[in-house]
Chains A and B, each alone.
Chain A
Amino acid sequence: MKPESIGALITGRRLACALLLLVVSVSLAANWLAPGGYARQYREAAGAPPSAAHWLGTDDIGRDRFARVLYGTRISLLLAPAAALLSTLMAALVGGLAGYMGGLWARLAMAATDLFLSLPWLFLLITVRAVMPLNVSPMASVLVTFSMLGLLGWTSAARVLCARTRSLRDADFVCQARASGIRGMRLFWIHVMPNLKPALYAQFWISIPVFILSEANLGILGLGVAEPMPSWGSLLKELEGLTSIGEEPWKFVPLILLVVVVTLFQFALSKQEEVAA
């Protein structure tokens, strides 16, 4: 890649980080930007289109959609990346270690991963909900939800990481490191792990919107964000009732915001060496 493009990339990355920070800051300023709050029901203006009073209109029971987008950003933007990080680390541990150790361990780990991929975890989540008290705080509920997602969402990446690690085991630089006396976990963490970054970044980036959407779907099990607290996932569920694209386009704002944030994450994560060619 040409030096100008590298410069553009670095500028792009900084811009992406800055914009992400802006989004986070705006969501944290929700108390001032939307003083009415996310729960107040303007029942006389239920389902209203955008207006001066309600910039993105109101939802079906009259709650200000702009306020709900702002407050929902806090939940989703903070917790989804945290859950994504958890799943990425677990994938790295399981897949990376399995591929590094090789042999029977790798086969066992991958068989367990395949089994993990196939089981109906929906029922584990139902059981988790049953065990939780009904009067749990909304924050506790959402923390449990994202933790479960992080703990269950690592399997796809584990396989890819295992394949990558297997090929790295016999790479020249690894042999050289081994020959110079570096072995075991030290070899794994210092020399092998950094080379797993492409798959790790991919897993992290994919997991963010997947977990945001899954959180909303888990609402049918009683998990997820409890009413009246909003989340991006619950806002996106409004799209399911639309029968045409042109109808109520303001309902697409949470989707656009999610796409923008996910794209910004990708730009923020991209490294110089990935496009060094």
Chain B
Amino acid sequence: MMRCQIFSSAPRGIGRGINQRAIAFSFATLAAFVWLFVGGAVAQGGGELRFCLRSEPKTFDPLKVDDDASESIRYLTGGVLVRMNRQTQALEPGLAESWQVSKDGRGIAFNLRSGIAFSDGTPFSAEDVAYTVQQLMDPALHSPTGDAFRSGPGNVETKIISPTQISITFPAAVAGLDRLFDQVAIESAHSPKKEMAVLGPFVVADYKAGASVRLKRNPNYWKSDAQGRKLPYLDSIELDIQPNRDVEMLRFKRGEIDLINALDSDYFDKLAATSPQQVHDAGPSLDSEQMWFNEVAKAPIPGYKRAWFRSQNFRRAISEAINRADLSRVVFHGHAQPAVGPVSPANKFWFNAKLKAEPYNPEAALKTLQADGFHLDNSVLKDRDGNSVVFSIITNAGNKSREQMAVMIQEDLQKIGIHVNVVTLDFPSLIARMTQTFDYEAILLGLTNVDLDPNGEMNLWLSSSDNHQWNPQQKTPETAWEAEIDKLMRAQASSADAGKRKEAFDRVQEIVYEQAPFIYLINKNALSAVSTAVHGAHPVILHPQTFWNAEQLTVGK
């Protein structure tokens, strides 16, 4: 066996000196090696992220997505041509290095990245984009993603200029055309795995119905970080299917899951009391809670009630009589603010800053009602024909904050002599009343906004639409103000000028404020919880709040 001479035969002083240098050098080398290795491990072994889906995903086909759970999976697995940075809200290149929208707003041309492959190794090219667009625009598909592009009758044309260049032309101008491609995950035209071959950072590895979905890193993901390290850092993501928020919270507290999106305000406060570094309040979200009255002509409600609901004064008075500040403070523990209109102040460009939230003023509400012939009779409000003002508000059961808001509104309106019955229904029953039988008087629901661009809500504002909630499917607009909204929405949809569009939609917001077909109540804050084990998270207001930058997250102590 060979001995190391340097330690046995050298003189003491020098030997010790040489020994020390050798040891120091060895440690330095070892440290550098560990640093490189660990650093590399952080990049390539970023751990497993775990969180919950609140419902079973209905589909893994990105073109058919219409529920939150499927949308989360699409976001994590789908490769898109352009990606809206959820933090800066600016569009960034994705699979497309650059793009150009035509002046008439009907067409868009993309320059695609080269040398990219799907998760199963199938090469990506313009042909896949053309295939995806044709699938998306298939009239038989009936998906929200596809319908968002449908601005007029006719077929979409795709022209493959080269393997990395494609132009797409729509039959009519599409407002915000480039932003819409953030929702379009490109599918492979050739892969035998069909929609399961993806271009995003993760790929579906396992799905246990009712239990979980497991995503693993896509080894062929095209993106690298600024230092040239391949993304994503995470090895995998475990998505447990857990509809119950109480259980989700329990699991987060126990460290079994790493983040919670759309955290309830009472849980936010409980967590903030013990682990303030884990909770995040990103400020007002795009979501709103509102109520509206049934103005449908054929609704099976008494004629005198229909007359109340169709009166602008009545609706404005109700709006004035609701204490929005209390709703924000009591129901949402201050993590909400009184809403102004259909656009949240968080949507800086589209929000009409001239409008202010309706202040709570029951005396003013009574005066407004008196203008319509209402009067108080022994603390009971009656109309000019002597009918006591009694109506019901329905809302969906199981949503605690809505149930609480309904009860608070009940008390607010009691103060001006109106008796409100609160009825909570299961959601299908509520939808049936709202869209089929029209057998309701007032509804309290919320709107989850995923788009900044109001064009996505076109079907809410067009009087002929099925989703024109207070009075859908009008053959011709029944009121002058609805006709004006129709005109304004169509004008902004066909314009490519952002300024003109803003002007038109500002006017829509003013009309909605004056007429109050929707009585906007509050805008909730975007609350979330992120474990301290997760690094790189910056929760934002846009969906998905906490994992919008999943490819750059790591999990570790």
Contacts and interface: CB of A to CB of B under 8 A. Distances in A.
A contacts B: CB pair < 8 Å: yes
A93 interface: no
Interface in A84-126: 126
Given A220-B398, A243-B250, A243-B270, A43 B330 contact: yes
B424 A41 contact: no
B59 to A, nearest CB: 26
Contacts of A46: 330
Contact of B422 (A126, A130, A226, A241): A226
Given A134-B394, A134-B440, A243-B253, A62 B424 contact: no
Interface residues of A, number: 25
B181 interface: no
Interface string A27-63: 0000000000001110100110000000000001110
A197 B400 CA distance: 43
Interface stretch (B68-76, B84-92, B406-414, B469-477): B406-414
Contacts of B390: 135
B397 A219 contact: yes
B377 interface: no
B392 A135 contact: yes
A273 interface: no
A55 to B, nearest CB: 21
B120 interface: no
A267 to B, nearest CB: 35
A249 interface: no
Nearest to B432: A130
A143 interface: no
A241 B266 contact: yes
B391 interface: yes
By secondary structure, the A interface counts as: loop
Given A61-B330, A134-B392, A227-B406, A41 B411 contact: yes
A198 interface: no
A125 B257 CA distance: 37
**Size class of the contact patch on chain B:** 20 to 34
Given A219-B397, A222-B424, A226-B423, A130 B429 contact: yes
B426 interface: yes
A61 B407 contact: yes
B246 interface: yes
Interface in B385-425: 390-392, 394, 397-398, 400, 403-404, 406-408, 410-411, 421-425
A88 to B, nearest CB: 30
Contacts of A43: 326, 329-330, 408
Contacts of B394: 134, 222
Contacts of A221: 397, 425-426, 429
B331 A240 contact: no
Interface in B241-289: 246, 249-250, 253, 266, 270
Given A134-B392, A220-B398, A129 B404 contact: no
Nearest to B396: A220
A182 B6 CA distance: 118
Contacts of A60: 266, 330-331, 400, 404
Contact of A222 (B331, B397, B406, B439): B397
B235 interface: no
B397 A227 contact: no
A213 to B, nearest CB: 16
Interface string B114-128: 000000000000000
Interface in A163-192: none
Contacts of A136: 421
A222 B425 contact: yes
Contacts of A243: 246, 249-250, 253, 270
B397 A135 contact: no
B441 interface: yes
Interface in A240-270: 240-241, 243
A185 to B, nearest CB: 43
Q: Which of A129, A134, A228, A243 has the largest count of B CB atoms less than 10 A from its CB?
A: A134
Interface string B418-453: 000111111001000000000111000000000000
A221 B425 CA distance: 5
Q: Which of B253, B266, B330, B391 has the largest count of A CB atoms less than 10 A from its CB?
A: B330
A175 B287 CA distance: 75
Nearest to B423: A222
Contact of A219 (B249, B253, B424): B424
A216 to B, nearest CB: 11
A46 B404 CA distance: 12
A135 B439 CA distance: 12
A125 B394 CA distance: 17
B441 A134 contact: yes
A237 B29 CA distance: 62
A61 B31 CA distance: 58
Q: Which of B250, B329, B429, B440 has the largest count of A CB atoms less than 10 A from its CB?
A: B429
Contacts of B439: 134
Which 10 A-B residue pairs are closest in the complex by CB-CB distance?
A220-B397, A134-B392, A227-B422, A222-B425, A46-B330, A227-B407, A222-B423, A135-B421, A61-B404, A135-B392
Given A130-B429, A226-B421, A243-B250, 11 more contacts: A61-B330, A129-B425, A134-B394, A134-B441, A220-B397, A222-B394, A222-B424, A227-B406, A228-B407, A228-B410, A228-B422
28 contacts: A39-B411, A40-B411, A41-B407, A41-B408, A43-B408, A60-B400, A61-B330, A129-B429, A134-B394, A134-B421, A134-B439, A134-B441, A135-B390, A135-B391, A135-B392, A135-B441, A221-B397, A221-B426, A221-B429, A222-B429, A226-B421, A226-B423, A227-B410, A228-B410, A228-B422, A241-B266, A243-B246, A243-B249
